Amino acid sequence: MASEKLFSEFPPVSTEEWTNLIQKDLKGADFEKKLVWETQEGFKIQPFYRKENLKGKEWLLSNLPGKFPYLRSTRKLTNDWSIRQDIDTPDLKTAKELAVEAIGNGVSALGLVLADVGSGRKGIQIKNEKDLAFLLEDLPLNEITLHFVAEEKSPETFSWLPKNKTLVGGLGYDPYRILARQGHSGGHGPETLKPILTELAGKWKNFRALTVHSSTFRDSGSTIVQELAYTLALGSEYLFRLGELGVSPEVVNSQTIFQFTIGPDYFLEIAKFRAARTLWAEIFSSYSSDKGEASLPFIEAETARYNYGIYDLHNNILRGTTEAISAAIGGAEVINVLPFDHLLQPADSFSLRIARNVQLLLKHESYLDKVADPSSGSYYIETITDQITEQAWKLFTEVEKDGGFLECLKSGKVQSSILESRKKKEENYSTRKDIFLGTNQYPNSKDKIQNKDLNKHVKSSNLTASASELKVTALPEFFAGDAIEEIRMKTENYETKNKTSVKVLLLPLGDLKMKKARAIFSLNFLGCAGFNVIDPGSYETSDEAIVGIQKENPQMIVFCSSDEEVTSYVKDILPKLKTKPLVYVAGYPKEILPELESAGVNGFIHVRSNLLETLSDLQKRMGVQ
């Protein structure tokens, strides 16, 4: 019985048979349109994958964890990672208390975010060596790794580091990120990085000077492929430039951390981390013949700032959780889950606890740290790993042919390609082709922003750029919910200023099924602007609706009826109104549009409406400025 092969009882099923069965279930619907997803990168994701999809891709299966080119992992046996948390509260004493609390509750990588008046970045008010010494005093630096987010203050922060302690972690210095984000170098470059890097390599070989941040690109609107290609091209640029200054590639790599943003595309993100290690191994091998420990890439992961919203904040917990799982399965060595209210205020004890508990659950409840490369063998993930690797390598080689990352940044090629991707994302969110829960779909209309001083859209430095320093077109930050959130905040500001809400009354009339469906749609659609949308449930007659309008005195009314009934209700109700609210119809009955408009209808909301354009137009019509 033990030797019996049960699967021999079942005949093999071909791909063609599976496809035919699926098409039968689709009942004539187009297979490609219904089930095949085309990514923004341009490759298609099939609804199912089989072993035959890996033909010609044997390289995916010929690797072992911990072996060059590290496709499967940089570790041989386990998948353990460090739990990182960044402290950004301004007060030194409070910051220290939060750090101690985090370390005592499972955090093994502590990040310190330094405030900077020039750029507007919020963070800890560390102004000198004494402040840093106070913050680090009594912290178990021999048990944790220490990381800094200091950007243009990185060289100054380096000078404040305690000389009598041994540090492990990273300074977080990325000179070309400063250039890309601010539009000018501020005097930062390989020349300012080299002395820091070489000193740390000699003194604290496990405290890395350089962090190559993929968020420079991803948080500006790039695709996954652009993020991967440009981040690796930036890493290659550092190898080349520091090599010109006499630093060996082995030393540079040992002093480099790649910090990748984790986006919302769950399986693609898993594949991205696998592709990143493979591609960096290939790039590094062109600088060095060492395929041992010196070639190991060190990869951190951080949940995406751009994928956090400022409304219905608990959605951010769900986003951070799925992103963290992607990074864990993908083999990141350090993971930082940003607090769910990260964009509204500095992290406090509660938001930090929720964020680190996400990772503690992934380790102690889901055991994602126990098996190296748990996604290996998945036909789906293996196939998209190959696709992402191929596409990113193609873009990387194009950058190299054009002179490398710095030349492409100076010429604007990097910025223009990311801007194109950003516009597509903005369009998708505006039309709700892409859903950002709680913002452009299913909003909590009762949710209000108390703190308008948001931790987003960090400004370029207000320090005057010198005539001689390098200047480029800056890469501005992108946020998935930004445009709709601005609409909603404008409504809130109007309500605060005028001491009244923007009131919209729904008029559900006629056919039960249609009036309910269109009322729910309208409530959701208009709620995205923060309007006070009143759904009375149902009006049985026109006279009831008129009484409701007189009672509520709304600035806008929306007829929610079937296409066949709406004209009669419009013609019956509008002439009897004493007030003149804005009049809209839910739906888009093409045949009777002129008739409805001549009867007094101002516009229509429907599934093909551009959410952003429609809400912006409604605000203008109702005087919401």
pLDDT of residue 455: 76
In 10 A of CB 20, how many CB atoms? 11
**Which whole number is the average pLDDT over 299-311?**
98
How large a percentage of the chain has pLDDT more than 70?
96
Average pLDDT, the chain: 94
pLDDT of residue 146: 99
Q: Are 324 and 337 in contact (CB under 8 A)?
A: yes
Element spanning 411, H or E: helix 405-411
Considering the domain boundaries, does residue 479 fall inside one?
no
Q: Find where tokens 């929720």 sit.
A: 354
Q: Are 226 and 188 in contact (CB under 8 A)?
A: no
Considering the domain boundaries, does residue 426 fall inside one?
no
Phi–psi pair at 524, nearest 5 degrees: -70, -45
**Mind listing the pLDDT tens digit for each residue in 400-450?**
999 999 999 999 999 999 999 999 999 999 999 999 999 999 999 889 987
**Which whole number is the average pLDDT over 349-376?**
96
Give the whole-angstrom CA distance, residue 85 versus residue 220.
23
For residue 575, is the peptide bond before it cis, meaning its omega torsion is within 30 degrees of 0? Answer: no
pLDDT of residue 61: 82
Give the whole-angstrom CA distance, residue 407 versus residue 404.
6
Check whether residue 134 and residue 23 sit in a common domain.
Answer: no
Check whether residue 95 and residue 136 sit in a common domain.
Answer: yes
Burial class (CB in 10 A: 0-12, 13-18, 19+), 534: middle
Estimate the share of the chain in helix, then strand, then coil, as percent rounded to the nearest 5: 45, 15, 40
pLDDT of residue 28: 86
Q: Is the pLDDT of residue 315 over 90?
A: yes
Q: Are 456 and 343 in contact (CB under 8 A)?
A: yes
pLDDT of residue 64: 87
Tell me the Cα Rg of the chain: 28
* Secondary structure in 3-state letters for 214-238: CHHHHCCCCCHHHHHHHHHHHHHHH
* Secondary structure in 3-state letters for 91-106: CHHHHHHHHHHHHCCC
Structure tokens at 123: 């963070």
Q: Which domain holds residue 514?
A: 485-621
Distances (CA, A) of 9 to 1, 4, 12, 15, 502: 14, 10, 10, 19, 67
Kindly indicate the confidence band of residue 514, based on its pLDDT and cuts at 50, 70 and 90.
very high
pLDDT of residue 12: 85
**Mind listing the pLDDT tens digit for each residue in 525-547?**
999 999 999 999 999 999 999 99
Check whether residue 35 and residue 117 sit in a common domain.
Answer: no
Check whether residue 363 and residue 316 sit in a common domain.
Answer: yes
Kindly indicate the confidence band of residue 299, based on its pLDDT and cuts at 50, 70 and 90.
very high
Give the whole-angstrom CA distance, residue 14 versus residue 12.
6
**Number of domains the chain contains:** 3
Check whether residue 39 and residue 132 sit in a common domain.
Answer: no
pLDDT of residue 76: 86
Q: Find where tokens 């009131």 sit.
A: 503
Beta-carbon contacts of 387 under 8 Å, excluding residues fewer than 6 positions away, are 43, 271
Give the whole-angstrom CA distance, residue 80 versus residue 315.
27
Q: Which residue has the higher pLDDT, 283 or 469?
A: 283
> Can you list the pairs that 562-568 forms with residues at least 24 positions away whose Cβ atoms lie under 8 Å?
562/510, 562/511, 562/514, 562/515, 563/587, 563/589, 563/592, 564/511, 565/509, 565/510, 565/511, 565/514, 566/510, 566/592, 566/596, 567/592, 567/595, 567/596, 567/599
Considering the domain boundaries, does residue 62 fall inside one?
no
Element spanning 21, H or E: helix 15-26
First to last CA, the chain: 77
Beta-carbon contacts of 78 under 8 Å, excluding residues fewer than 6 positions away, are 369, 370, 371, 372
Q: Which residue has the higher pLDDT, 504 or 71?
A: 504
Check whether residue 402 and residue 530 sit in a common domain.
Answer: no
Kindly indicate the confidence band of residue 396, based on its pLDDT and cuts at 50, 70 and 90.
very high
Q: Is the pLDDT of residue 73 over 70?
A: yes
Kindly indicate the confidence band of residue 6, based on its pLDDT and cuts at 50, 70 and 90.
low
Element spanning 277, H or E: helix 266-285
Considering the domain boundaries, does residue 2 fall inside one?
no
Assign 210 to helix, strand or coil.
Answer: strand
Check whether residue 79 and residue 19 sit in a common domain.
Answer: no
Q: Is the pLDDT of residue 456 over 80?
A: no
Identify any residues that bridge with 624 across adjacent strands, giving them in sequence order: none
Picking from 100-114, 362-376, 402-416, 562-576, which range would have the lowest pLDDT averaged per residue? 362-376
Check whether residue 261 and residue 378 sit in a common domain.
Answer: yes
Give the whole-angstrom CA distance, residue 189 versus residue 176.
7
Considering the domain boundaries, does residue 537 fall inside one?
yes
The amino acid at 565 = E
Picking from 153-157, 466-470, 603-607, which range would have the lowest pLDDT averaged per residue? 466-470
Considering the domain boundaries, does residue 357 fall inside one?
yes
pTM across the whole model: 0.94
Check whether residue 35 and residue 85 sit in a common domain.
Answer: no
Give the whole-angstrom CA distance, residue 510 versus residue 130.
73
In 10 A of CB 425, how many CB atoms? 18
Q: Are 297 and 280 in contact (CB under 8 A)?
A: yes
Give the whole-angstrom CA distance, residue 271 versus residue 263.
12
pLDDT of residue 52: 92
Q: What is the DSSP letter of 307?
A: G
Check whether residue 43 and residue 167 sit in a common domain.
Answer: no
Q: Are 388 and 225 in contact (CB under 8 A)?
A: yes
Considering the domain boundaries, does residue 22 fall inside one?
yes
Residues in the chain, how many?
Answer: 625
Angle between helices 349-364 and 92-103 (to 10 degrees): 20
Give the whole-angstrom CA distance, residue 393 versus residue 474.
25
Give the whole-angstrom CA distance, residue 484 versus residue 496.
19
Q: Is the pLDDT of residue 121 over 80?
A: no
**Which whole number is the average pLDDT over 194-209?**
97
Considering the domain boundaries, does residue 155 fall inside one?
yes
Q: Is the pLDDT of residue 469 over 90?
A: no
Give the whole-angstrom CA distance, residue 324 versus residue 322.
5
Q: What is the DSSP letter of 49?
A: -
**Mind listing the pLDDT tens digit for each residue in 240-264?**
999 999 999 999 999 999 999 999 9
The amino acid at 603 = G
DSSP codes joined into one string, 138-150:
T--TTTSEEEEE-
Final residue belonging to a domain, choices 389, 414, 439: 414
Beta-carbon contacts of 578 under 8 Å, excluding residues fewer than 6 positions away, are 550
Final residue belonging to a domain, choices 358, 386, 414: 414
In 10 A of CB 166, how many CB atoms? 11
What is the largest distance, in Å, between two alpha-carbon atoms of the chain? 86
Check whether residue 214 and residue 344 sit in a common domain.
Answer: yes
Q: Is the pLDDT of residue 138 over 80?
A: yes
Q: Are 188 and 178 in contact (CB under 8 A)?
A: yes
Q: Is the pLDDT of residue 87 over 60?
A: yes
Give the whole-angstrom CA distance, residue 348 versus residue 89.
8
Final residue belonging to a domain, choices 380, 414, 448: 414
Q: Is the pLDDT of residue 458 over 60?
A: no
Structure tokens at 372: 């190296």
Q: Find where tokens 């300074």 sit.
A: 171
Q: Are 484 and 440 in contact (CB under 8 A)?
A: yes
Give the whole-angstrom CA distance, residue 66 versus residue 1.
38
Assign 300 to helix, strand or coil.
Answer: strand
Check whether residue 366 and residue 491 sit in a common domain.
Answer: no
Give the whole-angstrom CA distance, residue 373 versus residue 78.
8
Q: Is the pLDDT of residue 461 over 60?
A: no
Kindly indicate the confidence band of residue 58, based on its pLDDT and cuts at 50, 70 and 90.
confident
pLDDT of residue 615: 99
Structure tokens at 472: 């480029």
Q: Are 576 and 556 in contact (CB under 8 A)?
A: no
pLDDT of residue 204: 94
